[in-house]
Amino acid sequence: MFELIEIDELAKQLNLSSLYEIARNSAQIGNEILKNNYNKIQKISSKGRKGDLVTNVDLEVENKIKEYLLEETPNISINAEESGRLNNSSDLTWCIDPLDGTTNYSHGYPFFGTSIGLLYKDMPIMGAISVPYLNELYSACIGLGSLCNDSELKVSSPSKLSDSLLVTGFSYDRFETEDNNYAEFCYLTHKTRGVRRGGAAAVDLAFVASGKVDGYWERGLEVWDLAAGAIIVKEAGGIISDYPSGKFNLSSGRILACSPSIEIELKNELDKVSPFNRNLYS
């Protein structure tokens, strides 16, 4: 991530406080629409891959947030899940996930949210994630720490991996690849107090930042899944890296986010796991 001198330079170049407020407002736009339409979906369709859904609510949230961002920050690029890229000429890019956890939302399962991240030259510098069912707004700006609503966040500090609660997920391509995270899930279930599968990567990352869970790993993710959550975890004192090891690379679609106290042990254990043969589950 950035060094302190780079953060100072960013603050001189950008009005971070103004952009931070815009990020939080954007997540709140999603929050209100998701609450108002909960259990009232009018249309659900598939984007082509098994389990990859889009609803009229995804589209409404994305359109409203884009309208707001284009009005407030017309010179900043946008990369949105449902409509793609808009204006690639800026060093800054808003990444919009209008409804992270669409499958959950479409079934009335209350684990979902809206995620808005801001990248500077492909590096997350601020983000906001609304979790409507909990009335929680997670946010962070580089160098300023992380918040849940107005309370400061700090990651947990379990003494060892066996004392930890983890969360993970499974990519849409799990039906076609052996790198499907099934083996890791089973293995770490036996090495920890438990592993949860939430179904919304941004919310999983917010929960790491708040200490609700101690660590999270996943593969096959998109930029909009990670842009906000990565900086929120980092600013809450957490570790973010590639999975199972290496420097964090937003474009890799892989992330390990956790408390520093279990970082080495978690990476070592993940590195031991060989993939399951997907043909066993065909």
The domain spans of the chain are 4-152, 161-281
The model scores a pTM over 0.85 = yes
| Mean confidence (pLDDT) of the chain | 91
Q: 44 or 172, which is more confident?
A: 44
Q: 21 or 4, which is more confident?
A: 21
Q: 276 or 29, which is more confident?
A: 29
For the ranges 44-48, 95-99, 124-128, 133-137, which has the lowest average pLDDT? Answer: 44-48
**Region 203-215: what's the mean pLDDT?**
98
CATH number for domain 161-281, candidates 3.40.190.80, 1.10.10.10, 2.60.40.10, 3.40.640.10: 3.40.190.80
For residue 135, what are the contacts with CB-CB under 8 A and spacing of at least 6?
A: 149
Q: 15 or 148, which is more confident?
A: 148
Place domain 4-152 in its CATH homologous superfamily.
Answer: Fructose-1,6-Bisphosphatase, subunit A, domain 1 (3.30.540.10)
pLDDT of 59 above 90: yes
Instruction: Name the DSSP class of 278.
Output: G
Q: What's the pLDDT at 15?
A: 87
pLDDT of 5 above 50: no
pLDDT of 52 above 80: no
pLDDT of 231 above 70: yes
Q: What's the pLDDT at 280?
A: 47
